[in-house]
Amino acid sequence: MGFQPAPDELKRRVRAFMEKNRGKLYHSIPHPDFADLPVAHGNERFDILRPHLDHPGGTVLDIGTHWGQFAHWLEDLGYRVTAVEHSPNFAYIARGIRDICGKKFEILETSVFKLEDLSYDIVLALNIFHHFLKTEIGFNDLVALLHRMKAKTMFFQAHVPTEKQMEGAYRNMEQDEFVAFVAKEGGFKSVEEIGQDGKRRIFKLC
Ligand SMILES: C[S@@+](CC[C@H](N)C(=O)[O-])C[C@H]1O[C@@H](n2cnc3c(N)ncnc32)[C@H](O)[C@@H]1O
């Protein structure tokens, strides 16, 4: 199925996001109507992940998918993707982009902490877990989530603890400490650093 034109409401919401975010999207939108918009994240991280993807044709959970760019790439490679996004506005935009691109992946508009089924071949946890370190409740939810998770592989992108957004965080961790924490609480036996996006490092846990 080819591209459909973007509806006005979708364009309006995308523009509104840009206006609030210094004229940039968070990540690229794989549709010609949005192809030229400036983005904070292009395809650099997918180029890092791609050679390390295993379980071809398997299931993927994308935690905090935002507008779903990784879900599009992974569906193109034949994965069965579930994308979870708790912001109703972002989930609306993600569904809109998915539909006009003729993609099929599932979008769950809820918090990842509410998911019952956490058995996936691959879990993407990119630029998301540090948000949960900011409060005691978020930290406890993250630990409980990792205990319940049954992922064979996880791709994890850490934050830099000196980032302004982490000032006053309930727990803050250096990147090595954070990945060791995720591995321990999630029951992963191996950790491999596969690349870096700006100052944020990306790890594969198995
Ligand atoms: C910084 S963005 C990262 C987006 C994407 N993972 C990436 O790296 O390109 C974090 C996203 O996670 C979403 N989010 C935050 N808390 C969440 C939660 N508890 N459950 C699901 N999504 C969440 C936010 O709304 C936002 O879209």
Q: pLDDT tens digit string along 98-134?
A: 999 999 999 999 999 999 999 999 999 999 999 999 9
Q: pLDDT tens digit string along 153-202?
A: 999 999 999 999 999 999 999 999 999 999 999 999 999 999 999 999 99
The count of structural domains within the chain is 1
Nearest CA to ligand 1 atom 25: 87
Ligand 1 centroid distance, CA of 101 (Å): 21
188 conformational bin, left if phi > 0, alpha if psi -120 to 50, beta if neither:
beta
Judge whether 143 lies within some domain: yes
Is the entire prediction scored with pTM above 0.95?
yes
Q: Are 84 and 114 in contact (CB under 8 A)?
A: no
Question: Token pair for residue 173?
Answer: 């961790």
**Token pair 């905090």: residue:** 64
pLDDT band at 2 (very low <50, low <70, confident <90, very high): confident
CATH number assigned to the domain comprising residue 71: 3.40.50.150
Judge whether 116 lies within some domain: yes
What is the SS3 assignment for 164? helix
Segment 12-38 shows an average pLDDT of 97
The boundaries of the domain holding residue 157 are 43-205
Ligand 1 centroid distance, CA of 64 (Å): 3
Judge whether 97 lies within some domain: yes
Segment 125-151 shows an average pLDDT of 98
Distance CA 126, CA 156 (A): 5
Neighbouring C-beta atoms of residue 149, cutoff 10 Å = 22
Segment 5-15 shows an average pLDDT of 98
Ligand 1 centroid distance, CA of 86 (Å): 7
Strand partners, 62: 83, 124
Break the chain down into helix, strand, coil percent, rounded to 5.
Answer: 40, 20, 40
Judge whether 127 lies within some domain: yes
Q: Which one-letter amino acid corresponds to residue 100?
A: I
Distance CA 165, CA 147 (A): 26
Judge whether 23 lies within some domain: no
Judge whether 110 lies within some domain: yes
The reported pLDDT for the residue numbered 206 is: 98
Question: Token pair for residue 172?
Answer: 């803050």
Q: pLDDT tens digit string along 68-93?
A: 999 999 999 999 999 999 999 999 99
Nearest CA to ligand 1 atom 23: 64
Task: Give the residues surrounding ligand 1 with Cβ less than 6 Å away.
Answer: 27, 41, 64, 66, 84-87, 90, 111-113, 126-128, 131
Judge whether 7 lies within some domain: no
Q: Residue 27: pLDDT above 80?
A: yes
The reported pLDDT for the residue numbered 1 is: 60
Strand residue runs (E) in 79-180: 80-84, 106-108, 122-126, 153-157
Ligand 1 centroid distance, CA of 85 (Å): 6
Which atom number of ligand 1 is nearest to the Cα of residue 26?
Answer: 9
